[in-house]
Structures are given as structure tokens and as C-alpha cells.
Structure 1
Amino acid sequence: MIPPLASILSRLHFKQLRLLVALADCGSLLRAAEQVGLTQPGASKSLREIESALGTELFVRTNRGLEPNDVGHCVIRYARLIQTDVAHLREEMAGILQGHGGRLSIGTIMGAVPLVTDALSRLLERKPALSVEIVEDTSARLLNLLDEGRLDLAVCRTSISQRPHLYESIDIHQEQLAVVANARHPLAVRKKLELSDLAAFRWVVYSANMPMRLLLEREFHEAGLRFPLYLMETTSAFTTLSLLQRNPTMVALLSTDVAEFCTRFGMTCILPLQLQSRSEPYQLVMRSNNVLSPVATMFTQEFSGQAASRGGVTP
């Protein structure tokens, strides 16, 4: 039986986590012990203490040395994450003490990337030594990272969560959507298109149940058209653009901000199709009752100001 969390927290130590990572890297108890500054008997004792604290064995002995079992792989993965988090802690403390401004972790959905990068660029003019991590993913994944404390803020939608009360949010932008394609798409020269004109082409879309995918499905339904069967599903902007570049007959649905950016640099063209549906606003999201760091507060001000200047909505 797995011990209670309080028991695990009271019995595990950072040096033991370092030993787990070293064992995974080295595969040898002797080499792992040397790496973390222990004797082999000391490392063997420490491993037994770790397994006792967690209530299960983590490694199996083979002719090649110690190999993690399934639970061991899981524990090692989290040990690496904890080491990374402590490294980030040290980095942020050093930045604050040296007057550099610390560290900021921001999550964003694809459609908000232009707004996020604009706000960050202005923030970096004020805090040039600030360390920044940007994670682009789906709203669901970003909210999970926010829950885990791995993001300070996220620009996404809380409507996909079953627990929206866990978050505080500011409506930022009523997202406009555009259908894009390679500039050599057969219909790129047309002055006006209907959805039926594109029904037979292969679409690059978000995964099922994501807000942008649901909107596109609604467009097809209201037009009395069958939703395309042969899809390319991805949440990656780069993958979407690469597919459009390599396949001149594909089409994709992107936020207008992203579509205009890509078209400005000749990566895509915006097809003349007027969508009937409106996408729900995305939000600047933080955990409820969480006190933001000074740099996270500064980013919030920059981002909200940028959105307001472009017609976004405020609380």
C-alpha cells in the first residue's frame, strides 16, 4: 500500500532524489553513488530507504545492473521534475536578489501567441534580464500545468474545465477565425468562397472537443454539410504551417491574428470565406487565491493593455 502523502514528504530527501536520477542515468549503483557523493553501501541503504518511504520496489536487478520498473520510471520522472523546479527556484531567487527581475512562466494557446509575444517584448524592455518560459498547448493542458504550479499565468479558456471555480480570469480577446491555405491553393484566386467549396479538401484541425474544432463542426452542420472525414489533427502551429507548405490543397482554421502574421510573411494566404460562428473569448487565467509575483503582475498589466488597445474586452 502506498503510504500517506505526509509520510512520503517527511521521509524523502533531495539527495535521495538525486540518487534516483543518477541510477537511471548510470544503471550502476557504484557509479550512481560516486556521482552523488555516497559510498556504495550508503547508496544501497539510501535506495532501501526510498523504497520504504514509497512502499514499493523501484528497480529490478539484471545482468546489466539496476533497471527501473514501471513505478520506478514514474518516480524518476518526478524526481527530474523536482530537480528542475529547484533549479528554477534558485534562478528566480538569484534574479530577484541581483535586481534582474526573476523568472516568469506563461502558457498560451496558439491563437493568443501574437498578443503574448507582443506583451512579453514590451515587458523585456523594462526587465531585460528577466528569464521567461513560454509553453504553447491546448487550454486543457495549460490548465493542468497551472494547477500543478508549473505556470504563473495561462492565456486560454476556462470553459473546458470541469472546475472553473478554481481560477480567476480576465476576458481578453474575442477571437476571430480565418481559413488559411497555401498561396498556391486552387481556390486562392477566388474573390468569395462558401464552405461547400472547401468541403472536399483535407482539413488540418484541432483534436475533437477542442473549442476551435467544435466551432468548425458547427459551421459544417449549420451549412447542411457532412464534416470532412480525412483530417490532419494537431495542436501545433508549426505542424499546421508545415503541412500547408507541403500540401497546396490542404486548408486549416486559425485565429485571425496568427493567420495575418503568417500571411504577412508569405507562409499562407487567407481564403475569402466568411464564417458564421464566433469563437468564445480567451482569457488571462491564474489560480484562485494565488498571489502573483511582481513580474507576473507586470505581465498582466502589459497583456491587458495590449488587448484593450486591439479591441479586447476587460472584466
Structure 2
Amino acid sequence: MPSDITHSSFCNWIRFKHLVLIDTLARTRNMHATATRMNLSQPALSKMLRDLEEQFGFALFERLPRSMPPTELGEYVVRYAQGALADSQQFVDQVNRLRKGGHGSIRVGGIFAATAVVLPQAIAAIKARSPLLSIEVVEHSSDHLLAMMEQNKLDLMIGRFTEERFSQQFDFQALEPEPFSLVVNREHPLNQLECTPLEALGDWPWVLYPLGTPIRERLEQAFRVAGIATPADSIDTISMPMFLQLLQSGPMIAMLPRSMVAAQLASGQFRELQTPLHLAPLEYGIITRKDEPPTGSARDFVEILLDFARQRRAGEGGASD
């Protein structure tokens, strides 16, 4: 049985060129393509890979006739290499900005509902304090953003956990519950009904979030509680422009966060169906790495987000008095 790798020995022999090799070969799965991209000869690359595997004590990549996919243990090493390279890229970018008089950067991920209202407000507030702060915003579903968090490609995100395992890796600070609406275009025949019966919901095509996303699970839960089947005639997408285009183009139904369609509902472009279907709000919040609290501008950004959430809750409480 091979002896354990010690941290000190690992630090002594691992090099960034090794990480680049691992990352590039995992992407190309081809030695010739990897050697070309790294500007090395194929024999030199083969030797470097053999030496690396000897240090680890196991094969990182399979040797198949037409491909070199990572082994099971190799997949774990690939994830480390990609995360370390992403960190180093961020470091280099930050140093260059600081040398030019910049004031740091934040990489933020947000689900679509958050990018509609919450993120723009917080960005405007922190840019008023730090005009030269560079902010990169990635808009996507929670599962995609969580994968980016695992690879250190984001400093923080606003979304939800999609699997229980993420609660072991990341901290979650709730911002607010997100109410949902069933929406149709203004010409939809169901608009003629004061209240749409449950059985009528299955008679029309739907635009749905993909299976496995929290919003889709909430909709399916609502249908189960109501005792009716999830619509079979549906199109799955996470693209907000696609949601809007499909709703405008025909008699379709969509379940969407109310904040995302507030403007269309206010203008009369869309209508909200009144139904007995109970759509419970779904809470979203700030997700950061466990045991690695945000620092500098990222910490300030989190505080702004939490402060705005407290203000909104206070305003809603005052409005209900």
C-alpha cells in the first residue's frame, strides 16, 4: 500500500505547470492537443505526466485508444487544479488592477429573481462608495452557480441550495422569501375566468424550469398537494428571455418569481391567473464559503444586501399595520 502524500512534500513537488497540464488534458482529453497548447513536445509532456502520476501514486488519466479521460481519482485532482488556477488568475487580475490604481473586484453570482431587483440595488449602493470597484455578475440557476462556487470562480452568490451536501460546504444567510405567480399573456383564454379551476391548468402548454431546480420542485410539490398531474405539454428552460418570448407568442402558462414579471404585469402585457393552486414562496439568500468569511469589498457587499433585506422587511411590516 503506497504511503500517504504529506502536505510538505506536495508543496515541494507540485508546480503550476503541472496544474495547467492537468486542466488542459482534462479539457482536450488528447496528448497532442495538450502539448500544442502548452508549447511542449509530446514526449516531454508524457514524461511530465508520468512523473506527476508517480508522485501521486495513482493514474490521473485513462489511456484509451482515442481519448484520455480522467480516472475517478483524477477527477478530484482536476477539480483542485481548476480551482487553484482560477484563484491564481483572480490574484493576477487583482494585482494588475491595484498596480493601475484600481480598488479591487467582486465576482457575484445571482439567480434570475435576484438580478431583477436585489443585485442592482446593492451594486448601485457599493459603486456609490467605491466607484473604481470592478463587479462581475453571473446570472444563472442555483445549481450552475454552486458549481462555480466549488471551483472558486465566484466570491459569493445569491440563490438557494439545490442539494443537502452544499450546506456542508457553504454558509447561507437568508434574504427574503420569493413569491411566485402563474402568468399568461393578455390574450390567453383563461383570462376570461375569474378563477381558473385546477383541472383547466393541464389543458394548456407550459414553460417550466428544468427538472431538479428548486422552482420546478416547488411547482411539482404544489401539483402533488392539489392532487393533479404535472403538465405533460411543456418546454423546459432557464432562460428568462425565452420565458418572455414564449409567453408572448402563444397561449402558454408559466410559474415565475413575481419580481421577474412585475413590469409586464403592471403594463398589462401579462396577466396573473387566480387559481386554488397554492404556490408557497421559496426563500433565497447569500451563499458564501464555510470557514472563509468574505473580506474587503465582498464583505461590504454582503452587508449592503443584508441591510436592504432588513429595510424591505421593515417596510412590509409597516405597510401591514
- TM-score category by the smaller chain? 0.7 to 0.9
Q: CA deviation at 1:186?
A: 3.0
Mapped contact 2:183–2:273 kept (Cα < 8 A): no
SS in 2 for 1:214: helix
Mapped contact 1:172–1:281 kept (Cα < 8 A): yes
Give the counterpart of 1:152 among 147, 155, 159.
155
* Map of 1:110 onto structure 2: 112
* Map of 2:128 onto structure 1: 125
Q: Distance in 2 between matches of 1:30 and 1:303?
A: 46
Instruction: Give per-residue Cα distances to partners, 1:170-219, cap 9 Å, x unaligned.
Output: 22112111112334433346554344332211222233454322332333
**What are the ranges of 5 or more consecutive residues in structure 2 without an aligned counterpart?**
316-321
- CA, structure 1 residues 199+51, in 2 after alignment: closer, same or farther (shift >3 Å)? same
* Map of 2:233 onto structure 1: 230
SS in 2 for 1:171: strand
Give the counterpart of 1:256 among 237, 255, 258.
258
* Map of 1:71 onto structure 2: 70
- CA, structure 1 residues 206+312, in 2 after alignment: closer, same or farther (shift >3 Å)? farther
Q: Which amino acid aligns with 2:97?
A: G
Q: Distance in 1 between matches of 2:79 and 2:266?
A: 41
Is 1:204–2:201 an aligned residue pair?
no
Mapped contact 2:111–2:139 kept (Cα < 8 A): yes
- CA, structure 1 residues 257+200, in 2 after alignment: closer, same or farther (shift >3 Å)? same
Q: CA deviation at 1:299?
A: 1.1
Q: What is the TM-score of this pair, normalised by structure 1?
A: 0.76
SS in 2 for 1:252: strand
- CA, structure 1 residues 96+161, in 2 after alignment: closer, same or farther (shift >3 Å)? farther
Q: CA deviation at 1:235?
A: 3.0
Root-mean-square deviation (CA, aligned residues, Å) is: 3.8
SS in 2 for 1:226: coil
In the TM superposition, 1:159-170 aligns within 5 A as 160-162=163-165, 164=167, 166-170=169-173
Q: CA deviation at 1:81?
A: 5.8
Mapped contact 2:83–2:152 kept (Cα < 8 A): no
Greater shift in the superposed pair: 4-13 or 197-206: 4-13
Q: CA deviation at 1:257?
A: 0.5
* Map of 1:89 onto structure 2: 91
* Map of 1:277 onto structure 2: 279
Aligned length: 304
* Map of 1:100 onto structure 2: 102
Is 1:27–2:32 an aligned residue pair?
yes
Q: CA deviation at 1:163?
A: 5.6
Greater shift in the superposed pair: 273-282 or 17-26: 17-26
Q: Distance in 1 between matches of 2:163 and 2:45?
A: 46
Mapped contact 1:220–1:226 kept (Cα < 8 A): yes
- CA, structure 1 residues 46+264, in 2 after alignment: closer, same or farther (shift >3 Å)? farther
Q: Distance in 2 between matches of 1:82 and 1:245?
A: 45
Greater shift in the superposed pair: 6-15 or 276-285: 6-15
Q: Distance in 1 between matches of 2:78 and 2:221?
A: 44
SS in 2 for 1:113: helix
* Map of 2:188 onto structure 1: 185
Q: What is the TM-score of this pair, normalised by structure 2?
A: 0.75
* Map of 2:222 onto structure 1: 219
Mapped contact 2:106–2:297 kept (Cα < 8 A): yes
